[in-house]
Structure 1
Amino acid sequence: MRSAIISSLVLATFTCLFQKGLANQWCYQCDSTLDSNCQEMWDHNLAINKQKYTVCDLWDAKYCIKVTGMWGGVVGTHRFCSSRDMGDQCQDIWFPDHDRLYRACVYTCSADGCNSAPNWQRSWMGLSVGIVSSVLLVLMRFL
C-alpha cells in the first residue's frame, strides 16, 4: 500500500513537471510599432489584450519574451515567443542626435503568458512543484 501511494505521488509529480514540455507554449505576442495597444505597462485582462495571448507557432518555443526599447526613433514594446532564453537584462543607450538617455530591456520567462506587463511576474508552476515536492518528502518520511 505504501509503495503504491509513493509511486502515485511520484507519477503525479513527474506528470506536472513534464506536462508543460508536451504542451504548446502560450505567450502574449504584439509589436507596439504596429499596435498602439501593445504598451510596456498594460492590463492583460482587457479584451483587446486578451486577443494577443496566443499559442506560439515557433518550433520548440519554450520562452515568452518582452522587449522594451527604441525602434525607428519611437520607444516601444515587443512581446513574442522564443526557443532561446534571452535572459533578463537592461542597457542604457545614448543616441548622439538625441538629448536623452534611453533604457532598453529584455525580460525572459517560461510560464504561459508570463510576458504581460509586470516583469516581476513569476510562474505559479515553480511554487506548485515546490509544494508537491515538500508534501512528497513529508509523506515518504512518515509512511
Structure 2
Amino acid sequence: MPSTRRSGTVGRIAERFHRVATGLAALCASPAGGWLRPTAAGGVLLVLASVAVSLASVRVLGDSVRIRWSIGTYYGPEYAPTAIVLALFPAIAAATYLGLRALATVLEGTSEFDRHRGYYELCVLAVLAVLVIVQIAVIAANLW
C-alpha cells in the first residue's frame, strides 16, 4: 500500500509553487508594468551567470590571463591578474544592468517608451548576454 505522506508533501510543494508563481505574475502584470518583469528576471539571471562563470573559472586559470591578442607591435598590457579580470566581468554586467534599468525607470510613462518597451527589454537582455558570451570567450581563449 503506497504511503499518503509522500503525496501530501508533493501537494504542499505544488501549492507553494502555485502561490509563488501567482505572486510573481501579479507583480509583472501590475498597471505600471511591475518592478519584476520576466525580462528583468532574465537580466538578474544573466548577471548571476556571469558571477557563476567567474567563480567556476578561478581554479582553472593561472595567476594571470591574456587580455590582448594582436598582430604586430602593441605597447600596452597583454596580461592582467586573473582575480581582477574575473571580478570585472560580473561588475560590468551588474553596472550595465542597473544602468539600463535606471534608464527604463526614467523613460517609463512616455508614450513612445510604453509602445516599444518590449524591444528595449530584449535589447537589455541581448547586451547582457553578449557580455557573458565575451566573458566565456576570454576564459576559453586563456585555456588554450
TM-score, scaled to structure 1: 0.30
Q: Which has the higher strand share?
A: 1
TM-score, scaled to structure 2: 0.30
